[in-house]
Amino acid sequence: MTLRQKSLTYAVVVPFAILLAFPFYFALVTMFKTNLDLADVEHSPYLYNDLEGGFHWDFWNYATTEHVRFLFEDTNYPKWLLNTLLVGAAVVGITLLLAMPAGYALARLAGGWGQTAGVGIFLVYLVPPTLLFLPLSRLITQLDLKDSLWSLILIYPSFTVPFATWLLMGFFKTIPQELEDAALVDGASRLKALYLIILPISLPGILTVVIFAFSLCVNEFIYAFTFISSSEQRTVSAGIPNDLIRGDVFFWQSLMAATLIPAIPLALLYNAFLDRFIKGFTGGAFR
């Protein structure tokens, strides 16, 4: 690349990156602000200031961790993180159990029927929670699962399974049939071939599904919000807007900390698995 091309690339890419990442940078600054600094509208919101609004290079002396501590010690936040992890893990487990055989079968079903079924499953993924939550919330009440994490564990697979099946179908399609045939010829049973040959090769794909299905669970808002009303049982997505915002009182620093803490590890995981995700996602549709 010539120097001109290079500078043009940076001139486009860097402003986009700044614009897209800005809310997160700003959340990071806010979470360590002192109340007095935050409340003064004359103070620069980008920096940590002294009482007069001045900036010092030893800015950490003008910041505080008390709001992060408040979040972990005086709210149910740690409990929500735990709940989210529990629900996520259980749902991912169920999802893999159901989606792996389904995805594999669809990938190997040659011709029109497999294609049609795959498309059908994909369409199911498009039926959104906003259409389903009204009847489902009544169902949960009838099953006496209201306020229980089990309600989420029961319902979340409705959107993770179609999604995971679609992704896995894409991954399995990339594995040549010959590999499996060779194992069969060598005397392995179909199941054994599946476990010893296919599974190890598709492990990266399966990991990708784990991460994206998990993140779908963390993202989910409307079910978590309607099914669960006790603070103790909430997940992160439903707990933060409900319990950390009280009427007009916002605990901004704690809110920003609560926002950023789950977002960063998820974004790192996303980034690491992005290329594989692209492969699986388009592998289903564009192959």
165-224: contacts with another protein (CB under 8 A): 215, 218-219, 221-222
* Options 59-67, 121-129, 177-185, 199-207: segment touching another protein (CB under 8 A): 121-129
Q: Which is nearer to another protein, 195 or 221 (CB)?
A: 221
**Interaction of residue 51 with another protein, rule CB under 8 A:** no
Q: Which is nearer to another protein, 8 or 196 (CB)?
A: 8
**Sole binder of another protein in the list 90, 167, 210, 238 (CB under 8 A):** 238
Q: Which is nearer to another protein, 60 or 221 (CB)?
A: 221
Q: Give least dist CB 189 to another protein, A.
A: 28
**Interaction of residue 13 with another protein, rule CB under 8 A:** yes
Enumerate residues 89-108 that contact another protein by CB under 8 A.
Answer: none
**Interaction of residue 70 with another protein, rule CB under 8 A:** no
Whether 228 contacts 152, CB under 8 Å: yes
* Options 56-64, 171-179, 189-197, 236-244: segment touching another protein (CB under 8 A): 236-244
| DSSP 3-state of 246 | strand
Residues 6+ apart with CB under 8 A from 253: 30, 31, 32, 33, 35, 38, 67, 68
Q: Give least dist CB 134 to another protein, A.
A: 5
- Give the per-residue SS3 of 104-162: HHHHHCCCHHHHHHHHHHHHHHHCCHHHHHHHHHHHHHHCCCCCCHHHHHHHCHHHHHH
Q: Give least dist CB 202 to another protein, A.
A: 19
* Options 70-78, 170-178, 197-205, 238-246: segment touching another protein (CB under 8 A): 238-246
In degrees rounded to 5, what are phi and psi of residue 249?
-90, 115
**Sole binder of another protein in the list 26, 60, 113, 195 (CB under 8 A):** 26
Whether 161 contacts 212, CB under 8 Å: no
Q: Give least dist CB 138 to another protein, A.
A: 5
Q: How far apart are CA 35 and CA 226, in angstroms?
A: 33
Q: Give least dist CB 231 to another protein, A.
A: 16
Whether 153 contacts 94, CB under 8 Å: yes
**Interaction of residue 27 with another protein, rule CB under 8 A:** yes
At position 84, the amino acid (one-letter code) is T
Q: Which is nearer to another protein, 67 or 279 (CB)?
A: 279
Q: Can you read off the two tokens belonging to residue 17?
A: 């990156």
Nearest CA among 67, 271, 276 for reference residue 170? 276
**Sole binder of another protein in the list 51, 143, 182, 285 (CB under 8 A):** 285
Q: DSSP assignment, residue 195?
A: I
**Interaction of residue 10 with another protein, rule CB under 8 A:** yes
Site string for another protein, 122-161 (x = CB under 8 A): -xx-xxxxxxx-xxxxxx-xx-----------xx-xx--x
The CA distances from residue 254 to 29, 34, 96, 224, 265, in Å, are: 12, 11, 35, 21, 18
Cα Dmax for the chain:
80
